[in-house]
Amino acid sequence: MTGDNTDGTTNIVPLMNPGVLKRGYLRILTRIYSPPMLYQRIRILLSTYNPVNRPVHLEWNEIFAFFRSILLLGILGRERKYYWRLVFWSLLRKPSVFPLAVTLSIYGYHFRRITEKLVGDETLEKAGYEKVLTSRSKLKSQTHSIAD
């Protein structure tokens, strides 16, 4: 164990094949941090969240972070369509959550980058995702035959 919680290792001894477990874990991470799913979850959260009204005190680092998010997420990022939808939705429909919308977008970008480093250049299919499906169907058939 490295102490680095982003290296994809586990602190348990799994009963299942560790490779299958890791591929499943990476598959989940890839999906939950994909722009469509991430921004959908952020919007659902923000649509029900009612922040406490407080006076706004902007710091220079927050202004810089906002403009940097515009560049990295809104212009260069592959999630730009989802970013701008969320930004305009929050500004027009629920301005009180706008700062949180930008913050959560930045967090999502960070987690997606970590996930991409874990997965590497290969797609999950190339890394053996088909093996996960095959193993899962074999496990189900074995479970059914034991139960019968």
pLDDT per position as a tens digit, 16-29: 998 898 888 889 99
Per-residue confidence (pLDDT) for residue 87, from 0 to 100:
98
Q: How far apart are CA 22 and CA 87, in angstroms?
A: 34
> Which residues are CB-neighbours of 97 under 8 A, at least 6 positions away?
46, 49, 51, 90
pLDDT per position as a tens digit, 59-80: 999 999 999 999 999 999 999 9
Per-residue confidence (pLDDT) for residue 6, from 0 to 100:
66
| pLDDT band at residue 4 under the 50/70/90 scheme | low
Q: How far apart are CA 148 and CA 116, in angstroms?
A: 42
Contact in structure between 2 and 106 (CB atoms under 8 Å): no
Q: How far apart are CA 123 and CA 119, in angstroms?
A: 7
CA–CA–CA angle 100, 103, 107 (5° rounding): 135
pTM equals 0.74
Contact in structure between 34 and 143 (CB atoms under 8 Å): no
| pLDDT band at residue 143 under the 50/70/90 scheme | very low
Per-residue confidence (pLDDT) for residue 110, from 0 to 100:
95
Percent of the chain with pLDDT over 70: 76
User: What is the rounded average pLDDT for all residues in the chain?
Assistant: 82
Average pLDDT over residues 23-36: 92
Q: Which residue has the higher pLDDT, 16 or 146?
A: 16
Please choose, from the candidates 7, 5, 3, the residue with its C-alpha nearest in 3D space to the C-alpha of residue 117: 7
* H helical segments located in 2-128: 18-32, 35-48, 60-69, 80-93, 98-119
